Structure 1
């Protein structure tokens, strides 16, 4: 069975059998908050067609996104090996389907399987690579480059030219005001890279976006690919 989630598809038959009774496929709706900072995580989410957004919330309510998670990984994996406490807010950025299972079920199964523990660590590391690279990118690169990076990452995960992203999401992704998002999107549209209407961006010229973005997009993709390739070699 293909799970349409890289973490689940990477598991061997024994580990899949241990988790299968606990897995439930669910529809996740955009903007729903699944976990809040300061609360214990009780559920692991493994996207198949949705995209999750992990954000840090400041005291004044402002938010900035540290990473997004699609079918390449999951949220709550590393928590199954350590503290279940969340230090971030996790929301649904793009509606779609996901597999969920109790954190304790994954923790119990991992205690009996070295291969499962390795898979958890590698897939969690893949999201950490994105988060650390995004930190550097947010400090060193311009908003237009960062917007192109996020659009490319989102398109990779959805496999579609049409990206259901709102101005609110884009402003959180970039850590800028909505007026800045409007100006950036208008400029990219004027150059023919994208088409932008309320709540929807269509990628018209992906090669142009790739030329416009910074080195961080490639670094994120290469780092995650190397980690997961290494996992396959050792499994």
Structure 2
């Protein structure tokens, strides 16, 4: 039975049976902070229809998003195999449901199963691919192309034309001021690619977003696919 999370759906029957009794389905609200930098990661979160945002917070309070995590992976997977201390802050960007399991319980199951350990590493790698690409993308590509990339990735994860995002989240994601976000969204709306209003974006023309997006959208999709199929 599919659990609508690619990590869980990749497990064989034996490994799934080992962790299934320890899985808890939780509903996450927008802006919920699930882990803070420097704190222990007590649980692994595996999105179903929510999206998690991993951000780095500077001393002056400025924030920049390093990656987002949807149903293709989870947050805390590597913490189950190594250090439990978080080096980033993880919050809920798009509300929805997720599976949750105690980090210690996933670690105990992985210690008995090389196949489960491999699945953990592969899906953690899939998440890190996005982080590495995002670092280069943030430095080299204009905000409009990066926003189009993000909208495409979000639509893939939600299977919905509606993207429920605030200006604040968009500005953190792009590393720009809210006024810049408004300007970019207005331009995309004038070209018929999206409909934008406070707190939500509706994708009207996916093809237009694919044309506008930087090369990183296709690169992320292709690399993640190869990592998980290896």
TM range (shorter): over 0.9
Asked whether 1:5 is paired with 2:20, we answer no
Distance 1:172 1:152 in 2: 17
Which residue pairs with 1:100 in the alignment?
100
Taking the aligned partners of 1:17 and 1:81, their CA distance within structure 2 comes to 20
Counterpart of 1:76 in 2: which secondary structure?
Answer: coil
In the alignment, does 2:63 pair up with 1:46? no
2:147 corresponding residue in structure 1: 147
Task: Give the drift of 1:2.
Answer: 1.2
CA–CA distance in structure 1, aligned partners of residues 99 and 117 of structure 2: 19
| Deviation digits for residues 188-211 of structure 1 (CA, Å, limit 9, x no counterpart) | 111111000110100011111101
Cα distance in 1 between the residues matched to 2:195 and 2:115 = 45
The alpha carbon displacement at 1:82 in A equals: 0.4
Deviation at 1:21, TM superposition (A): 1.4
Distance apart, 1:106 and its partner CA:
0.4
- Pairs within 5 Å for 1:68-83: 68-83=68-83
Match of 1:173 in 2: 173
Question: Where do residues 207-218 of structure 1 align in structure 2 (5 Å cutoff)?
Answer: 207-218=207-218
Unaligned runs of 5+ in 2: none
1:16-56 CA distance string (max 9 Å, x none): 11101110001001110000000010000000111100000
Give the secondary structure class of the aligned counterpart of 2:132. helix
What is the aligned-residue RMSD (CA, Å)? 0.6
Q: Which blocks of at least 5 consecutive residues in structure 1 are unaligned? A: 231-235
Q: 2:20 matched to which residue of 1?
A: 20
Give, in whole Å, the separation in 2 of the partners of 1:140 and 1:197: 28
Moved over 4 A (4+): none
Q: Residues 106-185 of structure 1 correspond to what in structure 2 (within 5 A)?
A: 106-185=106-185
The 3-state SS of whatever aligns with 1:99 is strand
| Residue 233 of structure 1: aligned partner | none
Query: 2:65 aligned with 1:62, yes or no?
Result: no
TM-score, normalized by length of structure 1? 0.97
Inter-partner Cα distance in structure 1 for 2:181 and 2:84: 35
Q: TM-score, normalised by structure 2?
A: 0.99
